[in-house]
Structure 1
Amino acid sequence: MQPEIIQLPEKKLVGISRSMSFLDYQVGELWQSFMPRRSEIENTVAPDLFHVQVNPLHYYFSPEVVFEKWAALEVSAFTSIPEGMQKLIIPGGRYAVFTYRGDGSDAANFFQSIFTDFLPKANLQWENRPQFEVLGEKYKKSSPDSEELIFIPIQDSNYSMDTIL
């Protein structure tokens, strides 16, 4: 697990959001409502899909804590928002970017290892900003050959890859 640490510029997204928890995970329904309507979004930057999680202010991981999930596309401007969709701004900042490969069956373990193993060993602190996955051209739903990028917001700190190698 070797992420790239980047300074991400602000991102403008348009999409559909839904409140849920890990106990009441409705991500399938979210994407089913978004995918047939994605062509309605104007000023798209690329066809890459954004799967975003926006946590409440004092978020802590617990299966029953409610957060917002988004299915969205990046846009260059908010000139027209389709009815039933919303805009979301992901503030710029530092992110650890991980590449996830696989059919998704071990995604929960992958995320857990980021938060419980990689971040502590690298002396990095998670920051409560939107975290997201970018499902680009290499993404193939439920395929073992699928690939996506996972963006985890981190605080400025004394990061060093030497601490984890």
Structure 2
Amino acid sequence: MDFNPLKELEKWAAVEVSDFDEVPEEMDRLVVPQGQYSIFQYKGKPSEAQKTFQYIYGVGLPGSIYEMDDRPYLDRMGEKYHGEDSNSEEEFWIPIRKK
């Protein structure tokens, strides 16, 4: 459960759809299982988010009644996301379950 920015992971760029029949055949489909998420608002450069993740995994979750669940982690980038701009905003969705 230690945060390691060098850990290998699988990353998707995704868009929510209401019907897989509308998705072109050459595109993969991902179904995100239902469950609880802890949502963290982040403002700043994505390259400087490591301290936020260290807090989430080192202090936030261990000090709560929750632990990380084995479901996909989501990073939601909406209209306020501007890449490496210091005013960029995004949400980190951490899958959780009660300990």
> What TM-score bracket applies, with the shorter chain setting the length?
0.7 to 0.9
SS at match of 1:154: strand
1:146 aligns with 2:88: yes
Shift of 1:83: 4.6
TM-score by length of 1: 0.54
CA RMSD of aligned residues (A): 2.2
Against the structure 1 CA distance between its residues 97 and 64, is the aligned structure 2 distance closer, same or farther, given a 3 Å change threshold?
Answer: closer
Q: Which runs of 5+ in 2 are unaligned?
A: none
Structure 1 residue 66: deviation in Å?
3.9
Partner of 1:92: 34
Q: How many residues align?
A: 99
Tell me the TM-score normalized by structure 2: 0.86
RCO comparison, higher one (Cα < 8 Å, 6+): 2
Q: Which of 45, 48, 61 matches 1:106?
A: 48
Structure 2 counterpart of 1:97, one-letter code = I
- CA shift, 1:81, in A, is 2.9
Match for residue 125 of structure 1 among 67, 70, 74: 67
More strand by share: 1
* Runs of 4+ with deviation above 2 angstroms: 59-67, 80-84
| Cα distance in 2 between the residues matched to 1:62 and 1:156 | 23
Deviations 1:70-124 (A, max 9, x none): 0111111101333542000001101100001001232122112101110011232
Q: Deviations over 1:5-27 (max 9, x none)?
A: xxxxxxxxxxxxxxxxxxxxxxx
Instruction: Give the SS at the match of 2:37.
Output: strand
Maintained 8 Å contact 2:80/2:90? yes
What CA distance in whole angstroms lies between the structure 2 residues aligned with 1:112 and 1:60? 8
Gaps of 5+ in 1: 1-58, 158-165
